[in-house]
Amino acid sequence: MIELKKIANEVCKTIIKSLVSAESGHTGGSLGMADIFTAFYFHILKHKPKEPAWPERDRLILSNGHIVPARYSAMAHAGYFSVDELENGLRKFGTIFQGHPDRKFLPSMETTSGPLGCGLGQACGIALGAKMDGKDFYTYCIMSDGEHQEGNLWESVMFAGKYKIDNLIGIIDRNNIQITGRTENVMPLESLRNKYEAFNWNVIEVDGHDFVKFIDAVEMAKISRGKPTVIIAHTIPGKGIKEIENDYKWHGIAPNKEQGERFLLELSSG
């Protein structure tokens, strides 16, 4: 687990470097999810970085596509592509690192995503297809908390409950912020737990920065039968950089060069 922490720290550095180079992008959510993406690509997922289309791979669907720098970064460190290429290529013309995930440019994204509330329905379809064919891989869907304001998402929650899609595991990045403020001020979401339970889901709440607990939660979710599981992962947006932690203003902006250098220094000393 100390190893995962170290890797996550490198993942964060790559996020900062690529955002500085891109001059735009979403910093808060990306840093906040670096631990979880690291846990996925270095421990949880059944995958082959050099054979991304391997049919038996677990499917990781990123619904809130705007935090894709965290995913790109974890994947780069896992060996899908070079770290250098990402740090210089994010959001740039002609690269595979589109501003929001685009599977035409990078098929290992599984789906093209970004417009909120759509990912869970897609994950339901993938998991359902796998169930029909007796495949034993899992489908994971990472969602933001803010996108739970979308009607489409709740239609999918209802659907997964009805069809008891137990090879589907949802992860909510519960960081309490969205672009214009705190979620509970913009449009209150609580109680997320009660809402999911009412739709016949199994719910686990966990500290999204505690690798041991998060991985345990996923293991629990994997053995759960007869219901889909959602893991509400409590995270800190901007994690690792004290001056931006929990600040919603850092949802949708990138650090400039000077800020980037300061942030990298803080990550190196942390």
* Residue 155 in contact with another protein, rule: CB under 8 A: yes
Cis peptide before 24 (omega within 30 of 0): no
* Residue 114 in contact with another protein, rule: CB under 8 A: yes
Q: Which residue has the tokens 């996925």?
A: 40
Least Å distance, CB 112 to another protein, is: 5
Determine which residue in the list 5, 24, 46, 129 makes contact with another protein, applying CB under 8 A: 129
CA distances from 83 to 12, 48, 89, 107, 224 (A): 12, 17, 10, 18, 36
Determine which residue in the list 121, 228, 238, 260 makes contact with another protein, applying CB under 8 A: 121
Of residues 158-197, which lie at the interface with another protein (CB under 8 A)?
A: 158-159, 162-163
Give the DSSP letter of residue 217.
Answer: H
Which two structure tokens, joined as six digits, stand for 11? 């993942």
* Residue 134 in contact with another protein, rule: CB under 8 A: no
Least Å distance, CB 115 to another protein, is: 5
Interface with another protein (CB under 8 A), residue total 32
Element (DSSP H or E) covering residue 140: strand 139-144
Which two structure tokens, joined as six digits, stand for 7? 């890797």
* Residue 52 in contact with another protein, rule: CB under 8 A: no
Give which of 8, 21, 12, 37 is closest to 90, Cα–Cα. Answer: 21
User: Segment near another protein (CB under 8 A), from 28-36, 125-133, 210-218, 240-248?
Assistant: 125-133
Residue (117 or 260) nearer to another protein, CB: 117
Beta pairing class for 139-144 and 177-178: unpaired
For another protein, the binding residues (CB under 8 A) are 102-104, 110-115, 117-130, 132, 151-152, 155-156, 158-159, 162-163
